[in-house]
Amino acid sequence: MKQLVLDLRLATPPGFAGFVAGDNAELLFMLGEWAAGSDDVRFVYLWGESGVGKSYLLAAVADRIPGALFIDAKRQTLPFPLPADAALIVDNADALDPEQQIRLFDHYNTLKEGTGRLLASGPLPPMLLALRDDLTTRLGWGLVYQLKALSEPDRIAALKQHAHQLGFELGDDVADYLLRHAARDLGSLAALLDRVNERALSLRRPVTTALIREVLSEAGGV
């Protein structure tokens, strides 16, 4: 008999502690400096392929800063006007339309002349973005980092860490099965683990390869 699962778990806020650094240790350090308000790290742009964790890290930074302005350019528009001391975070900067590109250009100048700071992300280095030349130039003036994909051992470590946060231990065989049969980006893998954990709780079963296979089959996977 299936047990009804009441979602009494507290939402876990994103944070650097939940991110396996891999080859991104310097980037994580600089993001910490940006969040702390370092005068030497006021403008940062990070880029990388889909699924490497850009949005997660930007949300983690925003969570550390009371009053930070966190904008996802795919779904939101930039605020106007902008205080010169603002902490502005813009995810998916490549999605800015022409009017919003002009606004971000103006915001950059406002922040630079004041004491504010900007953290932005996109899929490509600034100069390769299909944006206004004056804006890509500004985005490239600060620190630019590539967020690199994790190696397979680091992916497994990240999956085990996420499973531990959910309240169970993920075996090596189960983690290996996930990497071989499910989408390999960490966002999708973490979401899959969430679904598997809910299924395990409802059925009072441990998280095993067989259970993951069932969840994947229902979703049209293996």
Q: How confident is the model at residue 221 (pLDDT cuts 50, 70, 90)?
A: low
Assigned fold of 152-218: Helicase, Ruva Protein; domain 3 (1.10.8)
Inter-residue contact 121 to 90 (CB < 8 Å): yes
* pTM for this entry: 0.74
Element containing residue 145 per DSSP (H, E): strand 143-146
Q: How far apart are CA 129 and CA 96, in angstroms?
A: 11
**Which is nearest to 104 in space by CA: 15, 153, 165, 43?**
43
Q: How far is CA 77 from the centre of its chain?
A: 19
Residue ranges of the domains in the chain? 21-146, 152-218
**Which is nearest to 45 in space by CA: 101, 129, 153?**
129
Inter-residue contact 117 to 34 (CB < 8 Å): yes
CATH of the domain spanning 21-146, picked from 3.40.50.300, 3.50.50.60, 3.20.20.370, 1.10.287.3510: 3.40.50.300
Q: How far is CA 8 from CA 4, 11, 72, 93, in A?
A: 12, 9, 29, 36
- Provide the CB-side half-sphere exposure for 79 (13 A, CA): 14
Q: Above pLDDT 90, what percent of the chain?
A: 53
Range scoring the smallest mean pLDDT among 79-83, 144-148, 153-157, 210-214? 153-157
Inter-residue contact 148 to 118 (CB < 8 Å): no
pLDDT digits (tens, 9 = 90+) for 63-83: 999 999 999 999 999 999 999
| β-bridge pairing 87-91 and 117-122 | parallel
